[in-house]
Amino acid sequence: MKVMSAGFLLGVCLFLGYSSSSLFLTAQVQTAALALPHSSPTTADPTSRVYYIELSTLRDCLHGDCPSRFTDRNFAVSYQGRQYPVRVSLPFKANAADASGFPTHLLVVFPSGAQRPNDADLVKSLNRVFSEGWLVSINRPDGRFTQYSTGPDSLAAALAATPAAPLTDTQADLAAQSEIEILESYPSRRLLLLVVDIPRGKPVPLWRILAMKTHAQAYIVDGGMIKMVFYDESWGTGEAYTPGGGDYLPKKVRYSDNGVFHEVKFSAAMKDILKDARYDYNLQFTIPDSQSGPASPITLTLVKAQGLLPYQQNVELYTVAEKAANGNAIVARTIPPQKLLVEGWWK
């Protein structure tokens, strides 16, 4: 079995807890600028500011009885006693506006030494996410990352590009660290898929830290966990283990740990990532600059959202602005001074 290099672990630790290295950032900034589909925020009223709230109901709804989809009627935004209209976007092609309003960036990382499928199988496994309009970047065997591709042909060409001299393990790990940092800055839905070689589904403690530090939804292909499930050939289905009689067989299953999903294998992870998209929303609203200020919080109220617990929501309030990075103008998310409060309304 191949093992992740210590350099990759050190690189991610630096990203999580300290200022990360700028190595390879210059080379990747142009990629980031090209990948971002957002333009700088503009409104009909130049004295107004556009705000966004990224919200995931995945933790509450994955095993619950939540509606399959919420609409703008389920969200109310208020600030300083006034309520503002909300536009809700989804990360899949319910319609063209949804797909363009809330794009998805998927970063796939094979740490140094990790097993990976051949390029043709890898591209084929991503056909469905491309059909949903997602953008995908993957590190090649030489350690360098492709630009974010919008389709299988462009990704296949990027993976097949004539490599330069391979990066050392340390350089490749630092490149992955920089790509995770860039992913964090995108004003879009951000997904991180890490493929590691861990025997018997044993999780790596480092990824638990990653789950608490990154705002990207993280998936780790590490074999999942072993669970005993009841099986009857006449049924052809399994159900959760309970003490008592019956025939129980061991089965590898995905599981969640502090918001990080540990997956059994790569193909299963791709299916789960697509299913989980139904729980993600992006809310857009505008507040006049004359009303804006850091003193009062912005309140998000979940209306008629029975089964959701606001304190468990994965939410982030952000704005979008142009930033200078190594001589390039890129569009990135910024965190406004206002605090965000989330409230529930159980009706």
CA distance 171 to 161: 19
Q: Residue 230 falls within a domain, yes or no?
A: no
Least confident of 41-50, 284-293, 325-334: 41-50
Same domain for 144 and 210, yes or no, is yes
Number of domains the chain contains:
2
Same domain for 214 and 199, yes or no, is yes
For 307-320, give one letter per residue: b (16+ CB within 10 A) or e.
ebebeebbbebbbb
Same domain for 258 and 118, yes or no, is yes
Same domain for 141 and 269, yes or no, is yes
Q: How confident is the model at residue 188 (pLDDT cuts 50, 70, 90)?
A: confident
Average pLDDT over residues 34-59: 65
Edge-to-edge strands of the sheet including 104-109? 135-138, 104-109, 189-195, 217-221, 260-263, 255-257
Same domain for 329 and 213, yes or no, is no
Q: What is the pLDDT of residues 79-127, one digit of tens each?
A: 998 999 999 988 876 544 444 567 899 999 988 778 888 999 999 999 9
Q: Residue 227 falls within a domain, yes or no?
A: no
Per-residue confidence (pLDDT) for residue 268, from 0 to 100: 93
Q: What is the pLDDT of residues 113-168, one digit of tens each?
A: 788 889 999 999 999 999 988 999 999 999 999 999 999 999 999 999 987 789 99
Domain extent for 143: 6-36+103-222+252-276
Neighbours of 157 (CB within 10 A): 12
Edge-to-edge strands of the sheet including 298-303? 82-84, 75-79, 298-303, 340-345
Per-residue confidence (pLDDT) for residue 147, from 0 to 100: 93
